[in-house]
C-alpha cells in the first residue's frame, strides 16, 4: 500500500518534469507556452461563467422552492405502481443538472436510509451510472460556440433515464442491497 501512495504522490511532479524535459529537448519555450495556455484557460473561464451561473441559480431555485417535492408528490402514485422508491426522485431529477446538488441529495439519502439499504444502493448506482448531462452539455457547447444541441440533449437525457431505470431494476431484481 505504501508503494501506491508513493506513486500517486509522485505522479504529478514527474509528469511536469517530463513535460519540461521534453520541451527543453525540443528547444521550445516551455514557460511561454505555459503562459499562453494559462491565458487561454482564463479566457475559457470567462466564456463559461454565464452558463455556470445560470445553472447554479436554477439548481438553487429548484431545491429551495419545493418544486422537487411537489413533483415527487404528484408522481408518487405512478412510482408506487412501478415499485420505484419515491425517495430517490429528488436525486433522479437533480442528477442531470448538477453534480454537487445530486451529491448532496445522495449523501442525504445515504445518511437517512443507510448505505446497505435498497434505497441507498439505488442512489449509489444512479450516481455511478449517470452523468450531469445539462452541466456537461452547457460547458462543452458554450466553449465551442455550438447553438443547436437538441439531438445531443435528447440522446443524453434518454441515456440518463435508462441508467436510472437500469439501476433500479438491477438493485431490486437481483437483490444487491
Assigned C-alpha cell, 136: 456537461
Residue 115 belongs to a domain? yes
Q: Give me the domain span that covers residue 71.
A: 48-174
Residue 14 belongs to a domain? no
Residue 20 belongs to a domain? no
pLDDT at 14: 92
**DSSP strands (E only) in 44-120:** none
pLDDT at 80: 87
CB 47 within 8 A of CB 143: yes
Look at residues 59, 128, 111 and name the one whose alpha carbon lies nearest to residue 90: 59
Per 3-state DSSP, the chain is made up of helix, strand and coil in percentages (nearest 5) of 85, 0, 15
Return d(Cα 122, Cα 119) in angstroms, integer: 5
Work out how many domains the chain is built from and give that number: 1
Segment 13-39 mean pLDDT: 90
Residue 39 belongs to a domain? no
Give the distance from CA 32 to its chain's centroid: 34
CB 48 within 8 A of CB 143: yes
Residue 64 belongs to a domain? yes
- % of residues, the chain, pLDDT over 90: 16
Residue 85 belongs to a domain? yes
Longest dimension (CA), the chain: 68
Segment 37-65 mean pLDDT: 81
pLDDT at 177: 58
Residue 101 belongs to a domain? yes
Assigned C-alpha cell, 27: 528547444
CB 108 within 8 A of CB 71: no
pLDDT at 151: 87
Residue 81 belongs to a domain? yes
Segment 40-51 mean pLDDT: 82
| Number of other CB atoms surrounding residue 166 within 10 Å | 14
Residue 57's pLDDT band, with cuts at 50, 70 and 90, is: confident
Segment 45-59 mean pLDDT: 78
pLDDT digits (tens, 9 = 90+) for 102-124: 888 899 899 999 988 989 999 99
pLDDT digits (tens, 9 = 90+) for 128-166: 888 888 888 887 887 777 778 888 888 988 998 898 898
pLDDT digits (tens, 9 = 90+) for 59-108: 778 778 888 888 888 888 888 888 888 889 989 888 888 888 888 889 98
Amino acid at each position: 500500500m505504501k508503494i501506491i501512495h508513493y506513486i500517486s504522490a509522485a505522479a504529478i511532479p514527474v509528469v511536469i518534469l517530463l513535460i519540461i524535459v521534453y520541451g527543453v529537448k525540443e528547444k521550445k519555450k516551455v514557460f511561454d507556452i505555459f503562459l499562453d495556455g494559462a491565458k487561454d484557460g482564463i479566457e475559457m473561464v470567462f466564456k463559461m461563467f454565464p452558463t455556470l451561473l445560470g445553472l447554479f441559480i436554477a439548481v438553487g431555485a429548484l431545491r429551495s422552492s419545493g418544486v422537487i417535492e411537489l413533483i415527487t408528490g404528484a408522481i408518487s402514485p405512478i412510482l408506487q405502481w412501478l415499485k420505484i422508491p419515491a425517495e430517490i426522485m429528488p436525486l433522479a431529477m437533480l442528477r442531470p443538472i448538477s453534480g454537487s446538488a445530486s451529491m448532496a441529495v445522495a449523501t442525504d439519502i445515504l445518511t437517512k436510509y443507510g448505505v446497505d439499504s435498497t434505497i441507498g444502493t439505488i442512489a449509489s448506482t444512479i450516481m455511478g451510472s449517470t452523468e450531469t448531462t445539462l452541466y456537461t452539455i452547457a460547458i462543452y457547447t458554450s466553449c465551442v460556440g455550438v447553438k443547436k444541441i437538441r439531438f445531443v440533449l435528447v440522446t443524453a437525457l434518454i441515456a440518463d433515464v435508462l441508467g436510472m431505470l437500469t439501476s433500479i431494476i438491477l438493485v431490486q431484481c437481483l437483490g444487491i442491497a
